[in-house]
Amino acid sequence: ASDVYKRQVTNRPKELPADFDWNSAYGLYIQGEQWMNQKVYDKAEKYLTASLEKEAYFLPALTSLASLYYRQGRYEDALFNCHIALSVNAYDGYSNYLYGLCNVALGNETDAKDGFSVASYSISFRSAAYEKLAEMFLIACDWKKAEHYALKSKDFNQQNLKAVSYTHLTLPT
């Protein structure tokens, strides 16, 4: 067999730490995240909710649960968690991005733009937030602002094909 197919051994940890508290807010959150990664959403919700019962303002659990609710179309529930998360950290990129998504789904245009604008401060969400702003302005037929945000999204992430496509539209003058 070729060297490419030989088994590579890594030094990645393979055992759970014996003294880690899996029933702490963080431990329950980690378990919820693992279930989310496996797309077992009922168990993910159970563990994320349990995490928040231990620590009501645990931001990672709040945003993960908001994300889960958003995926399920439970926009009001997701928005509720976003409100709590943003009351703790008004500039959290993930919370603001989810806040924007929920508000788009619920027809709250001003709040959606606010969420995406603040999410754009975060490097992790900048391109996606600018893309969403471009999309909103495109729908509103505000061609200049749509192009402005599409270009900002593209400048930050050349691989954002949606933003690239927005910059190549033939728009009325």
Could you tell me the sign of the dihedral formed by the alpha carbons of 92, 90, 136, 151, in that order?
A: negative
Check residue 8 and give its pLDDT.
Answer: 77
Query: What is the pTM (predicted TM-score) of this model?
Result: 0.84
CA pair distance 31, 165, nearest whole angstrom = 39
Q: Give the DSSP per-residue string, 37-73.
A: HTT-HHHHHHHHHHHHHH-TT-HHHHHHHHHHHHHTT
Task: Render pLDDT for 128-154 as a digit per residue (tens, 0 to 9).
Answer: 999 999 999 999 999 999 989 988 888
> Nearest-CA neighbor of 77 among 58, 35, 49, 116?
49
Task: Render pLDDT for 20-67 as a digit per residue (tens, 0 to 9).
Answer: 999 999 999 999 999 999 999 999 999 999 999 999 999 999 999 999
Task: Render pLDDT for 81-98 as a digit per residue (tens, 0 to 9).
Answer: 999 999 999 999 999 999
At a CB cut-off of 8 Å and minimum separation 6, what does 48 contact?
A: 28, 29, 32, 61, 64, 65, 68
Q: CA angle 156-141-83, nearest 5°? A: 60
